[in-house]
A and B are shown apart, each in its own frame.
Chain A
């Protein structure tokens, strides 16, 4: 089926993905950058601030892009990042 798909799908608003809540324990980070490099949706980037260990911890670029795969949690050597599903009330 090689037709060109150019339209906005009609159900784009109906397909709702869980929203993420990313927690970074800045001072635990040693700045290895794994989470930034391996994030499949490129949600993170290096921040400019310097933490207690003297490195740049990551910061969230766009939390909406996060799909809660939690791969960052899995590969972080210092247990410095974890993601929770946002407990939504109305309108979140």
Chain B
């Protein structure tokens, strides 16, 4: 076969002034035209626009381009766009390459046009070098199982499950608690419309219970998830209820049960029995026995009062935990949020002063079906308070205690609560101590105004301290009114702490099972904050409700419907293509050592002892490339991230002024995204870093690092996800092992091992990335030409430069 002539077209995008503002795009395009294999180089105002796309398509035909390089924003944003353009012009989409000159160049070097332009040239050169070696690839198609799993049965999970089930898909709804309903079931009224919360939720809960397409698994937990988009194999642990579905929920068993404990649903303000239903509207209505309380443990039947009381003979102490295996195509994560525990703030005395309650306790007290029958009473003397204070931002918006973010719902919740008090006891004096009142949503401002009109007093400035009057159990609030700049000391009968929301304490389990990432706040991170707000970075997984960030009921429901629609798109199509970034095996070179099979996080490589070689299961491959980095005999490489392509990028970086540069290998999901985030946030850092993107830091073979040093690079950075957060389960542990080995080698050869840095950085930690580059800049400046020469020699053999 005659080797095809490589004809590359380069497009340098201005992105309005986003790039052109600090990079001379014309100069970069002129430079690109001089590079080998480049037959055409243009600069263009908005390459992603329809006109820009048409231009590329036209050029592909007119100039017979067989490779396209676009230098513009992050490939995480527009690579799919331009790949589509190529495909439409008849070019295989794997023959497209992108140079990130916006997030990783113009936006981070805003004030140094010369350096930014030089860097942009280098980035284009790297992309062109890789592009010349690109090979067309075909993607394999994977069928999608037309069933969905929804984790969490709060209002978000309920809505998502109903939408999917109504579309016609089979849905498994897994809930940890004995009943679905979540937080919304515990709230009295909803803002801003003052609807009764359970009254609008209960019909939906009941729909879930009766829907022919929904299988409800309550008192159950997801314990294992294997597989990939479209083909997840999920194990759910169904804990026994010890009551069969024959239960008519008559409650006779509960009446005779001799054991009591505080009811979690009522925030501990009421008792329940060992056999109980958490609340009247629970779905399923089947009672449940709390085995931590029941006397019949370890197979010894001590008490049979409930059994005797049950007319339908529904109680069965022989029930065992059961593991159910499900096969689903998509997963919606709707695990919700926890509330902040204010006992962490000693100044408010929660847990010590009886009449300091949380907003959640308030909801149960004001609820007609709650423990006090809807009477707001002081826990100390059961009297109705005359003067009530609300304290905002408890556990939110603080650098000292609790969380730094705004919990989104507490301002409006307090306003709603204050109106509820006014409705029942108009004479009550109500004061709200706040930092800022955020009434941003539809109808919110009206409610805020109504509260003010009803006489609720809003005072800016949180109390510094609450002191209890030991005799009356009244509370003194001491603080400063920051609007009037004067101190206050006020007496109240009751104080309600408006507690914030925080990530579920067990979200780590779901994170690990589904290989998700979380933001600094601890909530799950979406694939793109603006354009893919309900997608997880992992294919086939979506978010709904507070799992992603604190939000009110309306937003949770909106997001749930969106997540259901997104999951529905995948399932309606019935198939998905897997990116062609799987490993390629050179059978001749494979020595069947089996090292790759040990590092593969997906068990996608097996050793065939008879044929004396390994075998790859492409559909199971996640595409991290850590096998290729592990292979000692160069028999494995990764499609689209081949050894020669990456080496070509390294060589392009180190061709000129290598001794001043940092070669950085960044994983696509965390480090590269973190570098992008630094750009989006306009964090400025030194311009001598050149980033090479790999899917996982596990792809970075020691020979890449050695190559960079052999070519005279001043420093090398290997950056990946935090241990435990790896997008490919655990592939980055191999990164650490390899870097440690390189450090040892550098030390043995008398090299400054600081020149090789390992950084764990999440997609949300732009700051961390930027400060690492500053730190490395100092190292680069301290390196002498002699040291660089020495490294060249040490690694010359290994890197083969």
Which residues of A does B touch, CB under 8 Å?
1-12, 15, 17, 38, 40, 67-69, 71
Known: A9-B268, A10-B270, A10-B372. 19 other contacts (CB 8 A): A1-B177, A2-B338, A3-B339, A5-B262, A5-B268, A6-B351, A7-B262, A7-B269, A7-B354, A9-B263, A9-B269, A10-B377, A11-B270, A11-B271, A15-B260, A15-B271, A69-B302, A69-B304, A71-B302
Closest to A9 in B: B271
Q: Is the CB of A69 within 8 A of B258?
A: yes
Q: Which 10 A-B pairs have the closest CB atoms?
A: A5-B268, A67-B258, A69-B303, A40-B295, A1-B264, A5-B262, A71-B302, A9-B271, A10-B371, A40-B302
CB<8 Å pairs between A and B, sample of 18: A1-B265, A3-B268, A3-B339, A7-B354, A9-B263, A9-B271, A9-B371, A10-B372, A10-B379, A10-B382, A11-B271, A15-B260, A17-B258, A40-B295, A67-B259, A67-B295, A69-B304, A71-B303
Closest to B379 in A: A7
Q: Does B267 contact A (CB under 8 A)?
A: yes
Set of chain B residues within 8 Å of A3, measured between Cβ atoms: 264, 267-268, 338-339, 341, 360
Contact of B271 among A6, A12, A67, A69 (CB under 8 A): A12
Which residues of B does A touch, CB under 8 Å?
177, 258-260, 262-271, 295, 300, 302-305, 338-339, 341, 343, 351, 354, 360-361, 371-372, 377, 379, 382, 505
Set of chain B residues within 8 Å of A6, measured between Cβ atoms: 268, 351
Q: A2-B338, A67-B258, A69-B305 are in contact. Are A7 and B271 (CB under 8 A)?
A: no
Q: A67-B258, A69-B258, A69-B295 are in contact. Are A4 and B270 (CB under 8 A)?
A: no
Q: Is the CB of B302 within 8 A of A7?
A: no
B636 → chain A closest CB, angstroms: 46
Closest to B258 in A: A67
Set of chain B residues within 8 Å of A11, measured between Cβ atoms: 270-271, 371
Q: How far is the CA of A4 from the CA of B269 in the complex (A)?
A: 11
Q: How far is the CA of A54 from the CA of B271 in the complex (A)?
A: 45
Q: Is the CB of B303 within 8 A of A4?
A: no
Q: How far is the CA of A10 from the CA of B339 in the complex (A)?
A: 22
B273 → chain A closest CB, angstroms: 8
Closest to B296 in A: A40
Closest to B375 in A: A10
Q: Is the CB of A5 within 8 A of B295?
A: no
Q: How far is the CA of A74 from the CA of B379 in the complex (A)?
A: 42
A84 → chain B closest CB, angstroms: 15
| Total A-B pairs, Cβ < 8 A | 69
A64 → chain B closest CB, angstroms: 12
Q: How far is the CA of A36 from the CA of B512 in the complex (A)?
A: 47
A77 → chain B closest CB, angstroms: 16
A67 → chain B closest CB, angstroms: 3
Set of chain B residues within 8 Å of A15, measured between Cβ atoms: 260, 271
Q: A7-B379, A9-B262 are in contact. Are A2 and B505 (CB under 8 A)?
A: yes
Q: Is the CB of A9 within 8 A of B270?
A: yes
Q: How far is the CA of A4 from the CA of B342 in the complex (A)?
A: 10
Q: How far is the CA of A3 from the CA of B265 in the complex (A)?
A: 10
Set of chain A residues within 8 Å of B300, measured between Cβ atoms: 38
Closest to B303 in A: A69
Q: How far is the CA of A1 from the CA of B260 in the complex (A)?
A: 18
Closest to A18 in B: B258
B339 → chain A closest CB, angstroms: 6
Q: How far is the CA of A9 from the CA of B177 in the complex (A)?
A: 21
B383 → chain A closest CB, angstroms: 13
Closest to B177 in A: A1
Q: How far is the CA of A4 from the CA of B351 in the complex (A)?
A: 9
Q: How far is the CA of A8 from the CA of B260 in the complex (A)?
A: 12
Closest to B264 in A: A1
Q: A2-B338, A15-B260, A67-B258 are in contact. Are A7 and B268 (CB under 8 A)?
A: yes
Q: How far is the CA of A71 from the CA of B341 in the complex (A)?
A: 41
A11 → chain B closest CB, angstroms: 5
Q: Is the CB of B262 within 8 A of A4?
A: no
Q: A3-B264, A40-B302, A40-B303 are in contact. Are A10 and B259 (CB under 8 A)?
A: no
Q: Is the CB of A5 within 8 A of B264?
A: yes
Contact of A68 among B258, B265, B361 (CB under 8 A): B258
Q: Is the CB of B264 within 8 A of A67?
A: no
Most A CB within 10 A of own CB, among B268, B339, B377: B268
Q: How far is the CA of A10 from the CA of B177 in the complex (A)?
A: 23
Q: How far is the CA of A10 from the CA of B361 in the complex (A)?
A: 12
Q: Is the CB of A67 within 8 A of B505?
A: no
Closest to A70 in B: B303
Q: How far is the CA of A38 from the CA of B302 in the complex (A)?
A: 8
Set of chain B residues within 8 Å of A69, measured between Cβ atoms: 258, 295, 302-305
B718 → chain A closest CB, angstroms: 39
A63 → chain B closest CB, angstroms: 14
Q: A68-B258, A69-B295, A69-B303 are in contact. Are A5 and B267 (CB under 8 A)?
A: yes
Q: How far is the CA of A4 from the CA of B382 in the complex (A)?
A: 21
Q: How far is the CA of A67 from the CA of B264 in the complex (A)?
A: 23
A61 → chain B closest CB, angstroms: 17
Set of chain A residues within 8 Å of B264, measured between Cβ atoms: 1, 3, 5
Closest to B273 in A: A15
Most A CB within 10 A of own CB, among B269, B339, B377: B269
Q: How far is the CA of A9 from the CA of B361 in the complex (A)?
A: 12
Closest to B301 in A: A71
Set of chain A residues within 8 Å of B267, measured between Cβ atoms: 3, 5, 7
Set of chain A residues within 8 Å of B382, measured between Cβ atoms: 10
A6 → chain B closest CB, angstroms: 6
Q: How far is the CA of A2 from the CA of B268 in the complex (A)?
A: 11
Q: How far is the CA of A85 from the CA of B263 in the complex (A)?
A: 27
A74 → chain B closest CB, angstroms: 9
Set of chain B residues within 8 Å of A9, measured between Cβ atoms: 262-263, 266, 268-271, 371
Q: How far is the CA of A7 from the CA of B364 in the complex (A)?
A: 13
Most B CB within 10 A of own CB, among A1, A9, A69, A71: A1
A68 → chain B closest CB, angstroms: 7
Q: A9-B268, A11-B371, A69-B305 are in contact. Are A4 and B379 (CB under 8 A)?
A: no
Q: How far is the CA of A40 from the CA of B257 in the complex (A)?
A: 14
Q: Is the CB of A10 within 8 A of B269?
A: yes
A82 → chain B closest CB, angstroms: 16
B82 → chain A closest CB, angstroms: 47
Closest to A72 in B: B302
Set of chain A residues within 8 Å of B268, measured between Cβ atoms: 3, 5-7, 9
Set of chain B residues within 8 Å of A68, measured between Cβ atoms: 258
Q: Is the CB of B341 within 8 A of A4?
A: yes
Q: How far is the CA of A18 from the CA of B339 in the complex (A)?
A: 37
Set of chain A residues within 8 Å of B260, measured between Cβ atoms: 15
Set of chain A residues within 8 Å of B265, measured between Cβ atoms: 1
Q: How far is the CA of A5 from the CA of B360 in the complex (A)?
A: 12
Q: How far is the CA of A70 from the CA of B519 in the complex (A)?
A: 56
B463 → chain A closest CB, angstroms: 22
Set of chain B residues within 8 Å of A2, measured between Cβ atoms: 338, 505
Q: How far is the CA of A69 from the CA of B296 in the complex (A)?
A: 11
Q: How far is the CA of A2 from the CA of B335 in the complex (A)?
A: 13
